[in-house]
Amino acid sequence: MDLDSSAVGAGVPANVPEYGGMNADAEPGSPRSCGLGFKGFATKTTRVDVARWEAVVRELRERDWQQDGEPETHKGDSSGKVFEVRVALKQRGWTLVASWDDVRDGVITLNAFDDACMETVGVDASPVG
């Protein structure tokens, strides 16, 4: 799967080990067994902002992920500052949600789900519902 390499290609800090491996012990046939995850937080030396998220999405597109709909952008009520952006992408029976939010100075999260597996376990195949 292209999650780590796409993030690294866009200069995102390394995957948080606890998050990247969270599905490793998933019970077979459970919703968690259908997915993979990546989470990269800003560091003192690397900004994780909307521009970095856009770079990750470009990297994913270069790896044949196709955007599924328009990105969703959420802004603060009075300031108009963006606090979350996400988009769904699809590739060969997988759906991936790429998101950024301003928690802890910025975090990029990539969650990929095997659509057939999600259907089999009785979960809607769209993880962004």
Domains of the chain: 3-120 (3.30.160)
Structure-block tokens of residue 83? 């606090």
- CB 109, CB 39: distance < 8 Å: yes
pLDDT reported for residue 63 = 92
What CA–CA distance (Å, rounded) separates 27 from 50?
A: 35
Its pTM stands at 0.85
129 residues of the chain, pLDDT tens digit each = 678 888 888 889 888 877 777 677 788 888 888 888 899 999 999 989 999 999 999 999 999 999 999 989 888 777 788 889 999 999 999 999 999 998 878 999 999 999 998 888 876 644 444
The sign of the dihedral angle between the CA atoms of 59, 65, 124, 129 is positive
Structure-block tokens of residue 93? 């029976």
